[in-house]
Amino acid sequence: MTQLVEDGFLDPKRWHESAVDYANDNKPPTTRHYTAFDHKKWSEAGLEDFGDFVELIEFINQSEYGDGQLEGEWYYCNDDTMTIYNGEHGNDNSPGASMHTHADVYSLRSEYEAKSLELEMCEEYLDAETDEEVIE
C-alpha cells in the first residue's frame, strides 16, 4: 500500500478517466478501450456487434487443451473506424462472449496501424509443448 501512495496511484490528483491517461502522463488518451459487457458504453461509442464482423475475425495464439478444444485469441481490424476488436476464446467461453470481447478505438492512425501490424504478425497456433509461436 505504501508503494502505491509513493507512486501516486492513490493520489486523487493523479486519477484519470482511463489507465491510458495515466500511462501517457496526463496527455489526452489516443486510444479508448471498451468491453462489450458494458452494453451502454459500447452502444454509445457506436461499436459494432460481434455478429456484424464475426466472419472477418482472425484467430491467433491458439493452442489445444483438454480433449482437442482450442483456446486462444481473435481480432478484427476495422480500417475505416480505426477500431480493433479483440477477445479470447476457450475454456468454456466462445468468441464473442461479452466479458471477453473488447474494442480499442484509436485517434492516431500511426498507432492503429502499428497495432494492426503487430496482430497480423502473430501466428495462428502456438507450439503445444512450449506455448511459443509456430513459425512455418
User: Using one digit for the tens of pLDDT, what is the confidence trace for 61-111?
Assistant: 999 887 788 899 999 999 999 999 999 988 777 777 788 899 999 999 999
Q: Is the predicted pLDDT of residue 9 greater than 90, yes or no?
A: no
Q: How many Å apart are CA 33 and CA 3, to the nearest integer?
A: 27
Taking only the tens place, the pLDDT of each residue in 98-133 is: 888 999 999 999 999 999 999 999 999 987 665 555
Distances from the Cα of 97 to the Cα of 5, 79, 93, 104, 106, angstroms: 36, 23, 6, 16, 23
Question: pLDDT tens digits for 28-39?
Answer: 788 999 999 999
Q: What is the pLDDT of residue 96?
A: 78
57/3: higher pLDDT: 57
